[in-house]
Amino acid sequence: MLADWWQYDFLRYTLFSGILIGLICPLLGTFLIVRRLSMMADGLSHVTLSGVAAGMLVSKKIAFFSAVNPLFFGMLFAVVGSLFIERLRKVYKAYQDLAIPIILSTGLGLFTVLISVADGFNADLYSYLFGKIVTVSIEDLYALIGVAVVVLGTVFLIYKELFAVSFDEEFARVSGVARRSINLWFMVLVALTIAASMRIVGVLLISALITLPVAASLQIARSFRQTIFFSILFAEISVLSGLYFAYLFDWASGGTIVLMAVLIMLVVLGVKKLRVIMR
């Protein structure tokens, strides 16, 4: 069974993609949760989904775009959506969280209209919704590698600035940190990560992989760096075990990965509760 993962190209693409997703999703998710923007991934995922639908529609109607991967349309829509969210957060300063449901509703409405214009539900769209192992291509892997390099490079280069903006934006501003530019770039990174991860986890479930490992990590971590470390560890276990069981039983990879993440969180909560009782 394990030998299959090295024998077939699509399984190798899936494995490498899964490892990268397990690295960058909780990494960005840690900063998102600290910022109290855990629902950001949900909003952007719906916008990304409308971008994929638009890509499928355009490739169907215009021959020139027939060879273009809908993933890139999803990335474009996700980036535009992230820019709009950041703009709306400035407009509704007292109600910044209102920007997320606005974008989420817009993305879902646009997706619904595009699907109706395309005359039905494309079977390939299922893999974008819930993730599917056999659909991961070399193009998807390359896109994810590019996003992962940018995300890791950004966190490495401006970790202190990201940390400051995430915990106390006003203090960061007084300290001379370019918070607006950092916030904008961070939103773009989240958007690209969501779009690049949809083939494995599914666009409707990607927010779970961004938040659940962090939620489990927060129960045991004693510092922000530990939170990041345990989040990545839990995410990698969820992804690898989820992909294995999805392949073994022919399940949707996204749902299986999310269930593994939920199981890990429940185990962590149970162990913590048990320790409290035994004291």
What pLDDT was estimated at residue 127?
A: 78
Domain locations in the chain as residue ranges: 2-276
Look up residue 180 and give its amino acid: R
* Sequence-distant (≥ 6) Cβ neighbours of residue 228 within 8 angstroms: 26, 27, 30, 217
Residue with tokens 């991967």: 69
Is pTM beyond 0.85 here?
A: yes
Residue 61 has phi, psi (to 5 degrees) of -95, -30
Q: Could you tell me if 47 and 103 are in contact, meaning their C-beta atoms sit under 8 angstroms apart?
A: yes
Q: What tens-digit pLDDT sequence spans the chain (279 residues)?
A: 566 677 778 888 999 999 999 999 999 999 999 888 888 888 899 899 899 889 888 887 887 777 788 888 999 999 999 999 888 888 887 667 788 889 989 998 998 888 888 765 555 677 788 887 777 889 889 999 999 999 999 999 999 999 999 888 877 878 888 888 998 899 999 999 999 998 888 888 899 999 999 999 999 999 999 999 999 999 999 999 999 999 889 888 899 999 999 999 999 999 988 888 887
Minimal CA–CA distance to 57: which of 108, 109, 120, 134? 120
What pLDDT was estimated at residue 76?
A: 93
Structure tokens at 162: 């990201």
Residue 250 has phi, psi (to 5 degrees) of 60, 45
Q: What is the CATH number of domain 2-276?
A: 1.10.3470.10
Q: How far apart (Å, rounded) are the C-alpha atoms in residues 181 and 33?
A: 19
Q: Could you tell me if 115 and 60 are in contact, meaning their C-beta atoms sit under 8 angstroms apart?
A: no
Looking at residue 98, the DSSP 8-state letter turns out to be G
What pLDDT was estimated at residue 230?
A: 97
271 to each of 216, 231, 267, how far by Cα in Å?
11, 17, 6
Alpha carbon 137 to its chain's center: 18
110 to each of 114, 118, 266, 267, 277, how far by Cα in Å?
6, 12, 36, 39, 50
